[in-house]
Structure 1
Amino acid sequence: MDTIAHTASLTSLLFAGALAQDWHFVAFTTPDGQEFISQSGNMIVPAIHEAATNYLWPGLQTTDNSGVYQNVLDGRSGGWWFGSGWCCSNPSLQWGGGFGAVEGDILFFNNTRDLNRTEWVSVIDKNCGEVTATNSFPIADKTMNDATFAAELYGAWDFGPVIFGDVILIATGSDTAFCTEYPWNYNGATNVSITGVQSTVQADTVVCNIESITLWGPVT
């Protein structure tokens, strides 16, 4: 993948936590001239043993290095909290609403740019409608070129695998390489498995379906 794109991706990630101790993520990057317009899927809530500043999230990052749009499972309180937001630069927006989660819950996320290109809308859900939250963010002028699946750690990886399922990435254009080529594994730091990848092109739009993305833990 493009080295410049990867450098930009990391710069954006650092906005999400300037003093992050340990990054573990894969990123699907669109080629020049294409951009993501939707990211959806689910995440299985792992165990939590104690309060720690660890963040597990899917997200979209921009070509201008100005931030990351993400759905974050946050373990700082000693229990998990799931919410959506834009972090952490201009525009600085209030974090969206969310809800608590426990081990075994299935969290759904759907981030979609509206057709008028005025905002991104985030819909998150727990256990097929048990609780939901919808928030919109006026960041549709941003060009989202990285779809990231991350474990952002300030504490220990003591929660087991991070499993994303039924992922659908939709991008403009017709080049399917961002989907069919293996994503960037930052610093080769994470044991990752990816299954069931399929891509289709429909009306100048690429739909990338991924059965599962599993971050098993650090490479040792």
Structure 2
Amino acid sequence: MFSLRFFTLLFCSALFTIVSGQNWYTVEWDAPSFTALSGDMVVPKLPQPGGTPYVWPGVQSGDGVLQAVLDGRSGTWWIGDGFFGTPSLPWGNGFNVNPGDTVHFSFTLSGSSTWTCTLSSNGKSASTTLNITGSTMNRAIFAAELYDVPFNFGPIVYRNVQITATTPASQWCGSTAHLGSYPFTVSGNTASGNTCRIASITQNNA
């Protein structure tokens, strides 16, 4: 369903290049191993018809990416959880949302490989459990992944974000990377134990 996302992201992260017809706009944190990610996403307006817009938070390893993907291909927004990479797993559950809705998302690791993913918004909810073996999630990503769609439908806003790792958040909470030349803001970073709390992330139109 999202067969090019992970491998293209790795390519772009390594070379900082843009493939024709495709653009990435990200905010990212790196740590040796992430164990949880949660927050509230405010659903942006839909771009004009045509092309393929994906908007998502997620965690990535060298083997794949675990995502809550806001998918606008059909002309309406649908959000669902899934993992693309190795092992190959069926896509998870989701539901339709509208611009202006707030979606709470969470990814939580239990044991060494079981991730529980939840989504909720306006009385709708979805839960997916994925056994992702052999993956150490070492990058947390907030991405707009656009195929033949200009980034003119923002801002994309996240609030009450929490990212937890196996190492002290003071080592990584204040350091961000990004892809794409565009205006974004990250505010209210606070490190407490192994958790980084971020008041808001705003990804503005490119």
- The corresponding residue for 1:144 is 137
**Residues in 1 aligned to 2:126 and 2:139: alpha-carbon distance in whole angstroms:** 24
- The corresponding residue for 2:34 is 36
1:186 has 2:182 as partner: no
Please state how far the C-alpha of 1:170 moved relative to its aligned partner.
Answer: 0.4
Please state how far the C-alpha of 1:175 moved relative to its aligned partner.
Answer: 5.2
Return closer, same or farther for 1:175/1:167 CA change in 2, 3 Å cut-off. Answer: closer
Conserved in 2, the CA contact under 8 Å of 1:27 and 1:184? yes
Gaps of 5+ in 2: 1-6, 14-18
1:160 has 2:157 as partner: no
Structure 1 stretches (4+) deviating beyond 6 angstroms?
none
Q: RMSD of the alignment, in Å? A: 2.1
Conserved in 1, the CA contact under 8 Å of 2:29 and 2:172? yes
Question: Pick from 128, 133, 136: which aligns with 1:135?
Answer: 128
Instruction: Give me the TM-score of the superposition, normalised by structure 2.
Output: 0.87
**Residues in 2 aligned to 1:166 and 1:13: alpha-carbon distance in whole angstroms:** 28
Identity %: 35
Conserved in 1, the CA contact under 8 Å of 2:57 and 2:68? yes
1:54-93, aligned counterparts within 5 Å? Answer: 54-62=53-61, 64=62, 66-87=63-84, 89-93=85-89
**Residues in 2 aligned to 1:143 and 1:102: alpha-carbon distance in whole angstroms:** 33
Amino acid at match of 1:199: A
Amino acid at match of 1:86: F
1:212 has 2:206 as partner: no
Conserved in 1, the CA contact under 8 Å of 2:87 and 2:133? no
With 21-30 and 171-180 compared, the bigger mean Cα shift is at: 171-180
2:92 is paired with a residue whose SS is coil
Map Cα deviations across residues 148-191 of structure 1 (whole Å, 9 max, x no partner). 0000001122322111110000011225231022x10125x221
Conserved in 1, the CA contact under 8 Å of 2:26 and 2:142? yes
Please state how far the C-alpha of 1:118 moved relative to its aligned partner.
Answer: 3.5
Gaps of 5+ in 1: 1-7
Instruction: Give me the TM-score of the superposition, normalised by structure 1.
Output: 0.81
- The corresponding residue for 1:103 is 99
Return closer, same or farther for 1:163/1:196 CA change in 2, 3 Å cut-off. Answer: same
**Residues in 1 aligned to 2:154 and 2:90: alpha-carbon distance in whole angstroms:** 31
Please state how far the C-alpha of 1:19 moved relative to its aligned partner.
Answer: 7.8
**Residues in 2 aligned to 1:20 and 1:94: alpha-carbon distance in whole angstroms:** 27
**Residues in 2 aligned to 1:20 and 1:86: alpha-carbon distance in whole angstroms:** 24
Conserved in 1, the CA contact under 8 Å of 2:113 and 2:135? no
Amino acid at match of 1:36: F
Conserved in 2, the CA contact under 8 Å of 1:52 and 1:77? no
1:92 is paired with a residue whose SS is coil
